[in-house]
Amino acid sequence: MLPLDPFLDRIRPLLATHGRPVYLVGGVVRDALLGRDNHDIDLIVAAGAIDLTFDLARRLGLPAYRLDEERDVGRILVPDSDTTLDIARFRGDTLADDLRARDFTINALALPVAARTAGEVIDNHGGLADLAAGRIGIIHANSIADDPVRALRAARFATQLDFTLTDETITAVRAAGPLLTSRTSPERVRDELNRLLLTEKPYDIIGRLHELDLLGHVLPEIAALSGVAQSPPHHEDVQRHTFSVLAWLVLVERIAGGQPVAAAWAEEVAAILSPHRAALAVHLAALLDGGFSGRLLLRWGALLHDIGKPATQTIDETGRIRFLGHDETGAGLARARLNRLKFSGEAVRRVHDTVAGHMRPLYLAKDGRPPSRRTVYRYYRALHAAGLDVALLSLADHLATYDGLGPSDSWAALLGVVGALLDTYFNGYQETVAPTRLLNGLEVMELLGIEPGRELGRLLAELEEAQAAGEVTTREAAVAFLRRTTEGLAAN
């Protein structure tokens, strides 16, 4: 018996009344044969897929919508479950046409929806043999050229399944690189990059894209990092360091989620993250405009955090390599790249702020003391919610730089800074991060006899900062603060 999603047991009796053959196809069949969980169920029928979707959803009492009107694809969502059911019309006139139009042999496998055993799998292209051999092969010479995004998918499957690419697949993948910009919409490239970034090993997949000559076409800023040298304590060039940061970030995320990580440093990280586990989970799961999750945008920030280094690299007379201003330069490049990939404005701002601010906790840690309330206020005033991403990223950046803890005093100082930033955001938001002003603009204008304008804005900002720092706590103190401020300016 194949280990298939239990949801299929609910729908098989309903589909039996459909009157036409219905097939499971693609990844759900592949993963069942490999013994892997897969709750993304794809069904195909000869015609009427959207009609079947809504009829099935009505009988199940579940929500459904039209995923692709032109291609006749519908989707049923199963609330409180990881399961998603897509129903599509054949890609062609027959089941054989549909299977031939798919990307790789291991995905060109079908199973009648009522079937339950491997012996009933329909395999027209040697997919079962490729599964057994652990290889990813194309179905025909144009399998990838027909849809160049499949080149990116090949790298993802190879890493996720720990499979090898056949020589023919590698040739086709490399040839598809230019087609990813000339014949593929940026939205489809973006969506595939998003999928690979949310895997367990995004760093390995992106490295594979570089090996397959694809990275320069979809993320030229990351390709350009190869061979860019760095001075100690860095032990890798900028590109390898970037991949390492992603690898360490995955571990930091696991700790934030309460998952065990077998490393001595993990206990220290857990000590500062665990008190905020629920709040961090909400932050990482929250969807920004366009449906992009906080976790996805954190990983984009990690991937792009050092892309400003090639343009800012300098080498002094002692041979020391520096990258002054690489954070701001990189933030501009990140904004431009994500705009090209058609991310929403809100998502672009989040990643831009992460890249622009990624050095801040590291700078604060050099002071050797927890940051003051004023410092934390200024940090979040500049970065907003991206300040949480920067805090997590800074841990991964430090660990990647030293390939571990590095100097104990530097590590302890960074933990102190990150702990203070998180504690203040989640426990002192109203007091320090975004205090409610004790006086509003109208009251300040009446008190000081000034008109709306830049001066009013400056005074309100200074009052807010004084409140955040704990220096002003009452309306009376706010009035006195503003009078002192304006008198001081007049005296100067």
pLDDT at 487: 75
Delimit the domains of the chain by residue range: 1-133, 134-213, 219-433, 441-491
Cα Rg, the chain, nearest whole Å: 27
pLDDT at 81: 80
Cα dihedral sign for 24, 108, 30, 208?
negative
Q: For residue 489, count CB atoms less than 10 angstroms from its CB and return exposed for 0-12, middle for 13-18, buried for 19 or more.
A: exposed
| Over residues 233-251, mean pLDDT | 98
CA-to-CA distance for 400 and 390, rounded, in angstroms?
15
pLDDT at 309: 98
pLDDT tens digits for 385-438? 999 999 999 999 999 999 999 999 999 999 999 999 999 999 999 999 999 999
pLDDT at 240: 98
Q: Both tokens of residue 387?
A: 């300040």
Q: What is the number of other CB atoms lying within 10 angstroms of the CB of residue 484?
A: 10
Q: Both tokens of residue 133?
A: 């051999």
Q: Is 1-133 a CATH 3.30.460.10 domain? A: yes
Q: Both tokens of residue 202?
A: 């995004």
- Which CATH architecture group holds 134-213? Orthogonal Bundle (1.10)
| Over residues 64-85, mean pLDDT | 91
Contact 139, 96 (CB under 8 A): no
Instruction: Tell me, yes or no, if the two domains 1-133 and 134-213 fold the same way.
Output: no
pLDDT tens digits for 192-226? 999 999 999 999 999 999 999 999 999 999 999 99
pLDDT at 488: 59
Q: What are phi and psi of 148, to 5 degrees?
A: -60, -20
pLDDT tens digits for 154-198? 999 999 999 999 999 999 999 999 999 999 999 999 999 999 999
Q: Using pLDDT thresholds of 50, 70 and 90, give the confidence band for residue 19.
A: confident
